[in-house]
Amino acid sequence: MHGFSQHGDSWDELRSLVPGDRRWLTPDVAGATLAEAEAELLAVWEREGVERTDLVGYSQGGRIALFVAANQPGRVHTLATIGAHAGLEGEQRDRRREDDRALAERIERDGIDWFATYWAGLPLFAGLARRGPAVLQRLDAGRRRNDPARLAAQLRGMGAGATEPFWDRLARVDAPALVIAGARDERYVAFAARLAQALPRARVAIVPDAGHAAHVEQPAAVAALLADHLSVTAAAPTSTAGPTTPPRRPTA
């Protein structure tokens, strides 16, 4: 499950680095709430004949993955999140909700080109510059493919401030969980520690020299972590949910 303003193809680089005979499903998230995103994912699983899966999510997609795993624990073989949490609380949530509402209004007023430039300049993503201009251009092109109305709706409906905290529901997730955060992303390192306490079978992996988008900044390191995590289901064919892509057979 991809992050805010991304698309399913944002996983292409990472999945090419994860070895194994595995099918990947990477849907674009169109819904404006966690419940709508869950319904979309369940529809993908129904259409593709997926009974159980390894579920991976980044940032907003990590919240979706956590939410779905808590609601559908029997459908999840393993869970992995990158830069995720299960909702903000108190004054922190109130401030973020107002910030997200203001950003939604600005996107609607000034359009997708303004947003793409603004989002790329956030300190949260400063480490991406080390990947070079080709990667930055690819990320920028992905942002500019978005519909401003959809982005605004997602900020209002399932942004970090809009999300009702569901930390207390994570105890339902009995699947092995891998909680990844970039070492430079201190807030999410703290969230990773809290997720590891809330999820019954979780372990934390901190990626050195990486920020919020650890899987983009350090794809080889995150791919190695994910490959080890997914090895618990490597013996059985499964789908990693994360437009739906056709089956691929990556090589080591």
CA distances from 57 to 2, 7, 129, 204, 251 (A): 6, 12, 22, 15, 22
Cβ count near 5 (within 10 Å): 23
Distance between CA atoms of 56 and 177, rounded to whole angstroms?
10
Q: What does the pLDDT look like over 212-237, one tens digit per residue?
A: 999 999 999 999 999 999 998 755 54
Distance between CA atoms of 135 and 40, rounded to whole angstroms?
29
Q: Which residue has tokens 């990773």?
A: 192
Contact, 3 vs 214, CB < 8 A? no
Contact, 5 vs 30, CB < 8 A? no
For 51-82, b where at least 16 C-beta lie within 10 A, e where not — what string? ebbbbbbbbbbbbbbbbbbbbbbebbbbbbbb
pTM, entire model: 0.92
Q: What does the pLDDT look like over 112-123, one tens digit per residue?
A: 999 999 999 999
To the nearest whole number, what is the mean pLDDT of the chain? Answer: 93
Distance between CA atoms of 136 and 156, rounded to whole angstroms?
27
| Of residues 108, 58, 100, the one with CA closest to residue 79 | 58
For residue 98, give both structure tokens: 């107002």
Q: Over range 48-53, report the average pLDDT.
A: 97
